[in-house]
Structure 1
Amino acid sequence: MVKLVVGLGNPGKEYAKTRHNVGWMVLDKVANQFEEPFSKEKFKGVIAEIQSPHGKVILLKPLTYMNRSGESVAEAVKFYKLNPEEILVISDDLDMPVGKVRMRKEGKHGGHRGLMSIEEKLGSSRFPRIKIGIGRPERKEMVANYVLQPFSKEQLPIIEMAIDEATRWVTEIIDGKPIEAKTCSF
């Protein structure tokens, strides 16, 4: 049973609508659906507490910036005495096309520095994850700038559908549906 849902992103208005912040975008929608605001600063992040049919579920948006997300997650895991399997992490993925959404029970970081930080701090990669494809820039040296830019006008409706689908999956998991491997594309 998932007890902590983490959306990866970067704090600050300048990052709010960027590709790297799709995890935060999903959590914002989930919090809105449950009418629970992100009202507390805790665990080097902001949290919203949701009452599910199976107990309390914490939504966490780390404020440590992407590369140090594991610090925030590790504090929450320690406080709530959670196993990695009780954490669901939502992140962007450069290696999937824009609009592809994938859920797995566990996996590898694939070079994603936020996931890498979490795996390092937890000492495990055995946590469920939802990845949302943001595509890759044409040239490799542009990756750092690319992830910190907003989606193009053409990509925006596609990514909004992907975020809505990921939000639906998270809501179902909070309501008690077991995590299963699945993929969809828009």
Structure 2
Amino acid sequence: MSARRLVIAGLGNYTHPLTRHSIGQLTLKNLAARAASLPGSRGSPNLILDKKHPAWTTTITVEHPSGGHPPLEILFCLPRSLMNINGPAVVSCVNSFLQQPNNYRLITLQDDLDLAPSTFKVQRGGGPRGHNGVRSVSRSLQQSRDFWRIRLGIGRPESRSEVARWVLSALGRAEVQAVEWDDGKGGVMLERVWEEIVKIGWADEEDVIAG
């Protein structure tokens, strides 16, 4: 059976890896480790700089637990660019998969001020909701902008004037633990995000539309 294909992009500022604005990139790295730990998986959990994109990437193939579905081939993409211009690197990763365009889907991981820390929401399509990384991806896509987004909550400061400082400040320990992969165990939110990712990856198109 031909593999289903996903590109998962962690949006953020690679120069500030443990800040709230880059929680998508931290989550991406830990999801790669999560995927590589599965029985029968193929591929390295370590993202390597690929100057063609430019981004750090790794490809991991995972098997469906029941064995009755095609494998899921996942390209993990961490842009080597600032948040506001993540789009070109993400689309470059997408295009590398479009050379083999069978059942391809794109998922972005990004921070969200409107959701409480250690919570998330899955969304398909729609506007960027003020998020410059999502806006950059949308503008860079030459085809459909109907991609999936997993919005990772970071909360919001009391004053709007504090937003810039807030998103560039360090994640709290509890926030890091929620998305970490440590000694073969995943944080609570990491596990839930992974469940949503494989649902998207293995869903038939009519199920995706209905859901």
- TM-score, normalised relative to structure 1: 0.81
Q: Is 1:139 aligned with 2:140?
A: no
**What amino acid sits opposite 2:106 in the alignment?**
I
Q: Number of matched residues?
A: 178
Matches within 5 A, 1:156-175: 161-171=188-198, 173=200
Is the 2:5–2:103 Cα contact (8 Å) retained in structure 1?
no
Cα distance per residue 1:51-100 (max 9 Å; x no partner): 13335320000111111010101212223226996101111111112222
The structure with the largest alpha-carbon Rg is: 2
CA RMSD of aligned residues (A): 2.8
SS at match of 2:129: coil
Cα distance in structure 1, aligned partners of 2:6 and 2:198: 12
Q: Is 1:71 aligned with 2:100?
A: no
SS at match of 1:9: coil
Is the 1:2–1:88 Cα contact (8 Å) retained in structure 2?
no
**What amino acid sits opposite 1:8 in the alignment?**
L
Among 122, 137, 161, the alignment partner of 1:118 is 137
Cα distance per residue 1:97-130 (max 9 Å; x no partner): 2222111232321000000000111154300111
Q: Which residues of structure 2 form unaligned runs of 5+? A: 38-44, 64-70, 180-186
Among 97, 102, 108, the alignment partner of 2:121 is 102
Higher RCO, 1 vs 2 (CA within 8 Å, ≥6 residues apart): 1
The equivalent residue for 1:184 is: none
Q: Which residues of structure 1 form unaligned runs of 5+? A: 182-186
Is the 1:108–1:125 Cα contact (8 Å) retained in structure 2?
no
Among 140, 144, 147, the alignment partner of 1:127 is 147
Matches within 5 A, 1:1-186: 1-12=4-15, 15-33=16-34, 34-35=36-37, 36-42=45-51, 43-53=53-63, 54-81=71-98, 86-123=105-142, 124-152=144-172, 161-171=188-198, 173=200, 176-177=202-203
Is the 1:3–1:57 Cα contact (8 Å) retained in structure 2?
yes
